[in-house]
Amino acid sequence: MANSKIQTFADINWAELRANAFEKKGWSNKGPKEWDAKAASFATRNKSASYIDLFLDLLPLEPTMSVLDVGSGPGTLAIPIAGKVRSVTAIDFSKGMLEGLNKIASEENVTNIKTIHCAWEDDWQAKGIRPHDIAIASRAMGVRDLETALKKINDHASRYVFLSDRIGETPFDVAAFAAVDRPFSAGPDYIYTINILYSLGIHPNISVLTLEREMTFSSMEEALRSYSWMFSDITASETVALEKYLQRQIVSRDSNTLTLRREAPPRWAVIWWQKNGERP
């Protein structure tokens, strides 16, 4: 029998494997300026999304609690959470998103949200961010150095941490990539997050949120803008091919809306744990 080293889980460097997968992904991370430009439309489309209710149903919110929302966007979760807790601190690397959050909060007379312009990579202590009862990061795990980010959010929660991360190709539509003749690689998803947490001594709970396959838009123009967001530097010819694909996916249409059916439903993994006083 040939000599070989028998490897165990402890021999696997999950952070390195994730970094390798991150480099091979078939999509590009959006920067602050791109999210700034999308802030208004993102707020409108996500205000009544089913994802919000599914995620909120998992949170053990109490009136006396403080909540830290990392990657808050325009307040998709921060605003409904604010009505159930003492205070919310919302941080995001996009000033446009935070401006949108403050605008909505003002319109809805929500006064217990503090916004801080801050990224995962910033010095949170220098930004005045302190531990909260619950720390959440919803659909905001695209950070390059995930291990450091996980340690940081764990250090800023005194009772619970709740994250949501991609499963497989979510939130992308693989068939749309095929339609414009672009290769697609999903890149790292929740399985890396879970295993990095395990290597840090954190054993999380996992809930899977399965969303609707149908997506409703006010027009084909809106649908095309939304889908174009999946691609970097989409060309004119690719846009034509993408619109033809979307036309084929229409399942219903009236004078005000059209509904498209995705090839597969988006699925998100909610990864959460209760603090026990130990640090990773």
Provide the mean pLDDT of the chain: 89
Describe the strand order of the beta sheet including 258-261 as a list of residue ranges.
214-217, 258-261, 250-253
Please answer whether residues 212 and 259 qualify as being in contact, where contact means their C-beta atoms are separated by less than 8 angstroms. no
Average pLDDT rounded to a whole number, residues 142-158:
95
Average pLDDT rounded to a whole number, residues 144-163:
96
- Specify the pLDDT at position 1: 46
pLDDT tens profile 58-75: 999 999 999 999 999 999
- Specify the pLDDT at position 28: 62
- Specify the pLDDT at position 30: 56
Nearest 10 degrees: Cα torsion 211, 51, 226, 23: -80
More confident residue, 223 or 6: 223
More confident residue, 266 or 39: 266
Average pLDDT rounded to a whole number, residues 11-39:
71
Peptide bond between residue 32 and the one before it cis (omega within 30 degrees of 0): no
Average pLDDT rounded to a whole number, residues 9-35:
74
- Specify the pLDDT at position 12: 86
Collect contacts of 192-195 with beta carbons under 8 A, ≥24 apart: 192/14, 192/17, 192/18, 192/21, 192/146, 193/141, 193/146, 193/150, 193/163, 193/165, 193/269, 193/271, 194/269, 194/271, 195/12, 195/14
Confidence of residue 279 (pLDDT cuts 50, 70, 90): very low
DSSP category for residue 230: T
**CATH homologous superfamily, domain 13-212+265-274:** Vaccinia Virus protein VP39 (3.40.50.150)
pLDDT at 180 over 50: yes
Average pLDDT rounded to a whole number, residues 182-208:
93
Give CA–CA dist 121/30, Å, rounded: 15
Give CA–CA dist 202/279, Å, rounded: 9
- Specify the pLDDT at position 32: 62
- Specify the pLDDT at position 280: 41
Please answer whether residues 169 and 100 qualify as being in contact, where contact means their C-beta atoms are separated by less than 8 angstroms. no
pLDDT tens profile 198-219: 999 999 999 999 999 999 999 9
Q: Phi-psi region for residue 195, left (φ > 0), alpha (ψ -120 to 50) or beta?
A: alpha
Where are the domains positioned within the chain?
13-212+265-274, 214-261
Task: Provide the H-helix boundaries in 115-165.
Answer: 146-155
pLDDT at 40 over 60: no
Please answer whether residues 161 and 138 qualify as being in contact, where contact means their C-beta atoms are separated by less than 8 angstroms. no
DSSP category for residue 261: E
Give the residue among 165, 273, 256 at the shortest CA–CA distance from 217. Answer: 256
Within the chain, what is the greatest distance between any pair of CA atoms? 72
Distance of CA 108 to the CA centre of its chain: 24
Which pair of structure tokens corresponds to residue 140?
Answer: 């905001």
Please answer whether residues 14 and 195 qualify as being in contact, where contact means their C-beta atoms are separated by less than 8 angstroms. yes
- Specify the pLDDT at position 278: 44
Average pLDDT rounded to a whole number, residues 155-164:
97
pLDDT at 34 over 50: yes
